[in-house]
Amino acid sequence: MRSLIFHFNQVINNYEGTVPLVHFLKNYFKLHPVLGSRDRKLISAMVYSWYRCSRAVGNDEMLNDLMAQWLNEKIWASKSFIGWLREVHPGVILDLNALLPYDLELSDGMIKEAWLGSMLEQPELFIRIRKEKDLLIQLLEKSGIPYTFITGNCLSLPNGAKIDSKLPQECYVVQDASSQQTGAWFKPRKNELWYDCCSGAGGKALLLKDLEPGVRLTVSDKRESIIHNLQQRFRLYKHDLPVAHVTDVASRALLDKALGTKKFDNIICDAPCSGSGTWARTPEQLYFFKPETINEYSSLQQTIATNAARHLKPGGRLIYITCSVFRQENEMVVDGLVKLAGLKLISSQIINGISNHADSMYIAELIRNEH
């Protein structure tokens, strides 16, 4: 027990938020091979719980005592720390505003108290069923993995469910429920020219191709390794490889060098952002968040979306997406696109994932004027 508390404190005292917590823990455990798999799992659970709710609890000494009690209960594998805390201390008062003590305006459709409250619980794991639905359900039931249908092809599973060795990889994609919902705005048609300008590892691009394999797709990302991962995923799911560019869309010169004069019917702009809609999964990002970064992100988003929009055909659509809940990264960027980029707003909304224990996202559909 003392050893676990020691390692927990070592992580808390040395982690500074400059790299994802999952990578820091992985490297820490490599340096301490004496820790077994159960110890690593328990230390990780404690560390994530600390970053998730320590500020809401408020008193570090009391929180350390509570952590030790939680270990003695030996229920960490089946319950969250905050769930246990509310069970054994039903009168506990949590200061949600202490989680984000800044005056930042949220997008329409997001209530601050509900959003901050969702930070206290780990979201679920979600998969998008591509094919063989009945087989997947049979395999889940055979493996004793509980599941819930969110939509006809979206399943919610317990976070950490071991599905890699249980389910055929080509039959499903791990993708958050709210991210899956963005496909409702795509409405692709065969032979249309589509451009995913900030593709990452290809979650939205794969969703698009599953909806309509006949679209002619171009993707780009400034990281060559990410483009490589995207291509590997396309091969796994037996889609034709898209035209791929390693380029920085924030640079108009680099983008024009990559695309030339090419114009597209539709552009997906899943812009870099604060990730605030996903902070329940990565509580360290909330813990170490600096409010001045919002200005940096919104400026970058405006530049990327404006540059990308120059490659829209007249009448073409730009689908602007973030995994942020902040107005400055969402509605304010869209307002700039309407005023400065010659686009007309068709619709926009927050995809609120709180009720599904999922991420939250923002999406806007804009169209280039015909003239």
Q: Among residues 364, 365, 366, 356, which one has the least CA distance to residue 178?
A: 356
**pLDDT in the model for residue 73:** 63
**pLDDT in the model for residue 42:** 86
370 or 349: which leads in pLDDT: 349
Question: pLDDT confidence of 72, banded at 50, 70, 90?
Answer: low
Mean of the per-residue pLDDT values of the chain: 93
Question: pLDDT confidence of 371, banded at 50, 70, 90?
Answer: low
Range name among 1-5, 11-15, 69-73 with the lowest pLDDT average: 69-73
**Each residue of 30-55: pLDDT tens digit?**
999 999 998 898 889 889 989 998 99
Cα dihedral across residues 58, 60, 63, 67: positive or negative: positive
Q: What whole-number distance in Å separates Cα of residue 4 and Cα of residue 1? A: 5
Task: Could you list the beta-strand ranges (E) of 199-263.
Answer: 216-221, 243-246
Q: Reduced to 3 states, what is the DSSP secondary structure of residue 363?
A: strand
Percentage above 70 pLDDT, the chain: 97
Arithmetic mean of pLDDT, 179-206? 97
Question: pLDDT confidence of 61, banded at 50, 70, 90?
Answer: confident
**pLDDT in the model for residue 82:** 83
How many C-beta atoms lie closer than 10 Å to residue 27's C-beta? 9
**Each residue of 242-300: pLDDT tens digit?**
999 999 999 999 999 999 999 999 999 999 999 999 999 999 999 999 999 999 999 99
**pLDDT in the model for residue 81:** 82
Upper half-sphere CA count for residue 64 (Cβ side, 13 Å): 10
Question: pLDDT confidence of 28, banded at 50, 70, 90?
Answer: very high
Task: Could you list the beta-strand ranges (E) of 170-242.
Answer: 172-174, 193-196, 216-221
Arithmetic mean of pLDDT, 146-159? 96
Per-residue burial over 198-215, b if 16 or more Cβ lie within 10 Å, else e, is bbbbbbbbbbbbbebeeb
Per-residue burial over 46-73, b if 16 or more Cβ lie within 10 Å, else e, is bbbbbbbbbbbbeeeeebbebbbebbee
Q: Among residues 346, 347, 342, which one has the least CA distance to residue 370?
A: 342
Position 75 pLDDT exceeds 80: no
Position 76 pLDDT exceeds 60: no
334: Cβ contacts below 8 Å, ≥ 6 apart:
320, 345, 348, 364, 366
Position 206 pLDDT exceeds 80: yes
Backbone φ and ψ of 98, nearest 5°: -70, -20
**Each residue of 167-192: pLDDT tens digit?**
999 999 999 999 999 999 999 999 99
- Go through the domains of the chain in sequence order and give each one's CATH number: 2-94 (no CATH), 125-174 (3.30.70), 177-368 (3.40.50.150)
Position 3 pLDDT exceeds 70: yes
78 or 340: which leads in pLDDT: 340
Per-residue burial over 335-361, b if 16 or more Cβ lie within 10 Å, else e, is ebbeeebbbeeeebebbbbbebbbbbb
Alpha-carbon distance values, 217 to 115, 190, 234 (Å): 35, 11, 12
Task: Output helix, strand, coil percentages for the chain, rounded to the nearest 5.
Answer: 45, 20, 35
**pLDDT in the model for residue 1:** 66
Q: What whole-number distance in Å separates Cα of residue 152 and Cα of residue 133? A: 9
